[in-house]
């Protein structure tokens, strides 16, 4: 260390405290990076890598960016998951003794971005903290959006719930203890795509305590403290806009696991990972950024409280029926800016005058919005209107203080209105009218002295002066002027009044800018006091915005108000998949009914590929979710239960990151549903078992159906290509066969997309391959093989009982035989009878092994 130059030593000392971040080290007009930071940053940012002397033999790698362009480069790094420590000069170089003092003034991370293109208007930018308790017996999960101040915390029972909640929030950064296992940290990075940061301080010091007041229990407080300590340590400023932590229980909402959110494409599509084509895209007719963010939060967490759901439905219904009020509301909401984030910028200290003008413009809309909402005459509407605080005092202050079109920078002046501050008005008057005043003074002095050639001039040395030619000096009264300079043919004078005006004129511009900046800082501090009220106002406006959005979409897409069934009945007439219908545009969507009740708990759906089985299943799930977030639904008529959970297994994809095959992913998702579903849940299983051999898959599919039917009794839609499973309708009393209709015309299949009662008669697999335009030779060969396979099947006169009794299937070709009972000995027939009578589904694995052992002993004698 001693061999490096003092400046490099300073750099290394600061860098040692920020090992996991790029250190932007301020040197004059540039931010410089050295050593490995420079090498890596030059590659990521595609900037030139150079080098410099540093006191050692080898030159030190170095790269840099201009300070005025730094925000763009920082944003590039942060958007790719990196952290940036901004190190500024905190001492005047002219007064420094030795190396200029420098300090890190802010650590910018993916979860703490406050401005820039990566901060999307209708998308929260969450940072989460995870606190493990009692070696993983429970976890504290807390998340915050630094740009809005939102702060929420919950307690979760296992690690998978943590991963699901983290994915649900879309957090970009997770703050954890250094004791969290390496494996779990890796899962956070690889499965949830978050930047992992370490924070071990949990003590409750003064700056943290106010945020913990609404919490009960040490676990909740520890989870929040970890996150708050990290934010305070990295942002190095007061965060007055962060709200008190609110505890939420995941049981208060419909639970939709991470697999189901992906499969149902609630927030983004599976293929493009974009918003278009998702439920969020369909429902987003919000007029404000705040409303857009709240809509996403509602879709993530549908309600299970029947009264709250009905209140939203009633509000949507009234807005739907009152077109003119809704139109007025939308016009006013269009003028409302992002109050939440404006409040955050005020607290963070990076708000500018244009931001406050936007805040003023937003507050000006509140009386009209409040009045329109109050006119809806609903308890819910009245509650929203009465809690809509217009912050009238703040509005008056902003109207008096700020011009309509201030500059972007707060250090250029021209922000504050005339009449707001007396001293500022004097400076402006001097600046604007200085030359006029000088001309008027010159004319006045000529008249008073009678000297027509008297003039007022200016130079940089003496400033303003009164010049009188020597021939006229005798006309001056003694003591009228103070002599300043003698010239060959004239004398120059000054007066106290002239010097006073000179000071005002010459210093006016500089003083105007400085005073305006000081007044703006004072104004910002005054606005800070209103932050809690502004945040409350933002919540009310956001709710109104989302509800009017539901009304707009419901009118445009012909949605209907659902009826909530206390008997857990599901009756959807002419239901449609809302997103697919919109994507189809001009094409007509084939609507379908879905009836499920105590007698029809499980629908077994058959039909060819591409016929619409998956779409039918998804539309039932989306209809339920839409109803429980408070929206109308895409049907002609809908009576729906309130589901506590939704589970799906739709589509096939390998999980390459964790090294799991399609079949393993399928089984894990099935297990998740079977382990957690209740009789009030909705389960969608699409072709379970197709990831393995036919007999394995069929056996698993049947076992899963039977287990759900007998033990869970949840509303279940189960699609399959195993036509043999349709026989279960005769054995399981609450299972009903339905199929998606298709017909053959001229040797080609035509999909009718209509769901009808009963089982499908054919799979039409080869017809689908033909539609995909596989080579005709291949299609012909497939038809030959199909005819061969079908000819080898058991004849239609062979009963199911005969197949069971006479045919034994073996996994090993060389042992495959058909065994007739007549060829068996009495002992073997007795053992076979015993095997048939074993209740397999009721045995534990150990019981099954014991039975197998007993049978084996008998066979061996």
Going by the annotation, the residues of the binding site for ATP are 607-614
Tokens standing for residue 269: 């599509």
Residue entry with tokens 């998606």: 740
Cβ atoms of 10 and 99 within 8 Å: the answer is yes
DSSP letter string, 822-854: GGS-HHHHHHHHHHHH--GGG--HHHHHHHHHH
State the DSSP code for 726: G
Tokens standing for residue 368: 């009209």
Binding residues: 607-614
Cβ atoms of 683 and 596 within 8 Å: the answer is no
Tokens standing for residue 473: 């000096």
What residues form DSSP beta bridges with 468? 491
Tell me how far CA of residue 712 lies from CA of 276, 483, 496, 707, 840, in angstroms.
36, 105, 96, 7, 18
Q: d(Cα 81, Cα 111) in Å, to the nearest integer?
A: 9
Q: Give the other-Cβ count within 10 Å of 586's Cβ.
A: 4
State the Rg of the chain over Cα: 38
Could you tell me which residues come within 8 angstroms of residue 434 by beta carbon, excluding any fewer than 6 positions away? Answer: 501, 504, 505, 508
Cβ atoms of 488 and 470 within 8 Å: the answer is no
**Torsions phi, psi for 158 (to 5 deg):** -145, 170
What is the DSSP pairing of strand 645-649 with strand 255-256?
parallel
Q: d(Cα 363, Cα 230) in Å, to the nearest integer?
A: 33
Residue entry with tokens 């739709």: 650
Tell me how far CA of residue 644 lies from CA of 257, 265, 304, 631, 710, in angstroms.
12, 19, 6, 17, 19
Q: Give the other-Cβ count within 10 Å of 408's Cβ.
A: 9
Cβ atoms of 304 and 628 within 8 Å: the answer is yes
Beta strands in 530-599 (DSSP E): 563-564, 570-575, 592-596
339-348 helix and 496-528 helix, angle to the nearest 10 degrees:
120
Q: d(Cα 669, Cα 689) in Å, to the nearest integer?
A: 12
Tokens standing for residue 632: 């109308």
353-374 helix and 531-557 helix, angle to the nearest 10 degrees:
60
């Amino acid at each position: 260390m001693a061999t490096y130059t003092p400046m490099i030593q300073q750099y290394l000392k600061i860098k040692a405290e920020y090992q996991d971040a790029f250190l932007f080290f301020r040197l004059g007009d540039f931010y410089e990076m050295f050593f490995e930071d420079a090498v890596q940053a030059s590659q990521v940012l595609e900037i030139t890598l150079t080098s410099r002397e540093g006191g050692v033999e080898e030159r030190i790698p170095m790269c840099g960016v201009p300070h005025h362009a730094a925000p763009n480069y920082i944003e590039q790094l942060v958007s790719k998951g990196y952290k940036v420590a901004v190190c500024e000069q905190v001492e005047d170089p002219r007064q420094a003794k030795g190396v200029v003092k420098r300090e890190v003034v802010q650590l910018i991370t993916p979860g703490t971005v406050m401005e820039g293109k990566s901060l999307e208007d209708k998308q929260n930018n969450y940072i989460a903290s995870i606190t493990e308790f009692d070696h993983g017996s429970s976890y504290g999960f807390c998340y915050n959006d630094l740009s809005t101040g939102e702060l929420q915390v919950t307690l979760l029972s296992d690690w998978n719930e943590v991963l699901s909640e983290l994915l649900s929030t879309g957090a970009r950064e997770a703050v954890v203890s250094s004791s969290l296992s390496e494996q779990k940290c890796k899962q956070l990075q690889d499965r949830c795509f978050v930047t992992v940061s370490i924070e071990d301080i949990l003590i409750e010091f003064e700056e943290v305590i106010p945020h913990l007041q609404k919490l009960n229990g040490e676990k909740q407080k520890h989870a929040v403290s970890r996150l708050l300590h990290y934010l305070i340590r990295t942002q190095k400023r007061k965060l007055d806009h962060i709200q008190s932590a609110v505890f939420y229980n995941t049981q208060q909402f419909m639970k939709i696991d991470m697999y189901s959110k992906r499969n149902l494409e609630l927030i983004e599509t599976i293929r493009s990972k974009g918003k278009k084509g998702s439920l969020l895209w369909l429902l987003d007719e919000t007029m404000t950024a705040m409303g857009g963010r709240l809509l996403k939060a509602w879709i993530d967490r549908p309600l299970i409280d029947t009264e709250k759901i009905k209140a939203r439905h009633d509000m949507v219904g009234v807005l739907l029926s009152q077109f003119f009020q809704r139109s007025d509301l939308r016009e006013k909401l269009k003028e409302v800016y992002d109050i939440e984030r404006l409040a955050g910028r005020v607290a963070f200290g990076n708000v500018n005058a244009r931001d406050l003008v936007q805040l003023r413009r937003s507050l000006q809309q509140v009386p009209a919005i409040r009045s329109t909402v109050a006119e809806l005459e609903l308890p819910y509407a009245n509650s929203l209107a009465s809690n809509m605080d217009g912050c009238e005092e703040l509005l008056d202050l902003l109207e008096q203080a700020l011009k309509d079109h201030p500059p972007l920078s707060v250090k250029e002046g021209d922000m504050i209105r005339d009449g707001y501050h007396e001293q500022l008005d004097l400076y402006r008057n001097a600046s604007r009218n200085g030359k006029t005043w000088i001309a008027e003074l010159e004319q006045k002095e000529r008249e008073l002295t009678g000297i027509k050639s008297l003039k007022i001039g200016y130079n940089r040395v003496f400033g303003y002066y009164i010049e009188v030619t020597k021939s006229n000096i005798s006309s001056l009264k003694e003591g009228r002027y103070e002599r300043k300079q003698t010239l060959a043919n004239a004398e120059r004078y000054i007066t106290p009044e002239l010097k006073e005006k000179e000071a005002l004129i010459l210093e006016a511009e500089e003083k105007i800018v400085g005073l305006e900046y000081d007044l703006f800082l004072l104004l910002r501090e005054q606005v800070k006091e209103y932050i809690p009220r502004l945040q409350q106002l933002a919540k009310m406006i956001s709710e109104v915005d989302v509800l009017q959005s539901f009304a707009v979409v419901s009118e445009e897409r012909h949605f209907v108000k659902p009826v909530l069934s206390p008997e857990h009945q599901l009756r959807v007439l002419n239901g449609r998949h809302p997103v697919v219908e919109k994507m189809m545009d001009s094409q007509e969507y084939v609507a379908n009914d879905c009836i499920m009740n105590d007698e029809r708990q499980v629908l077994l759906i058959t039909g060819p590929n591409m016929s619409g089985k998956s779409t039918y299943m998804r539309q039932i799930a989306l209809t339920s979710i839409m109803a429980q977030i408070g929206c109308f639904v895409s049907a002609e008529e809908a009576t729906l239960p309130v589901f506590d959970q939704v589970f799906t297994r739709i589509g096939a994809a390998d999980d390459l990151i964790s090294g799991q095959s399609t079949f393993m992913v399928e089984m894990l998702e099935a297990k998740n549903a079977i382990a957690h579903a209740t009789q009030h849940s909705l389960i969608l299983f699409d072709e379970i078992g197709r990831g393995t051999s036919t007999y394995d898959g069929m056996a698993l599919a049947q076992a899963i159906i039977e287990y759900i039917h007998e033990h869970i009794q949840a509303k279940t839609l189960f699609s399959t290509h195993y036509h043999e499973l349709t026989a279960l309708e005769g054995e399981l009393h609450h299972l009903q066969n339905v199929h998606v209709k298709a017909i053959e015309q001229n040797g080609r299949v035509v999909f009718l997309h209509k769901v009808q009662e009963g089982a499908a008669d054919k799979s039409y697999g080869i017809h689908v391959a033909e539609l995909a335009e596989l080579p005709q030779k291949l299609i012909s060969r497939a038809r030959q093989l199909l005819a061969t396979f079908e000819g080898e099947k058991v004849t239609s006169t062979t009963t199911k009982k005969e197949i069971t009794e006479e045919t034994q299937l073996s996994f090993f070709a060389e042992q495959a035989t058909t065994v007739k009972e007549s060829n068996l000995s009495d002992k073997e027939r007795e053992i076979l009878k015993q095997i048939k009578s074993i209740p397999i589904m009721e045995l534990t694995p150990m019981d099954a092994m014991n039975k197998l052992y007993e049978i084996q002993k008998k066979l061996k004698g």
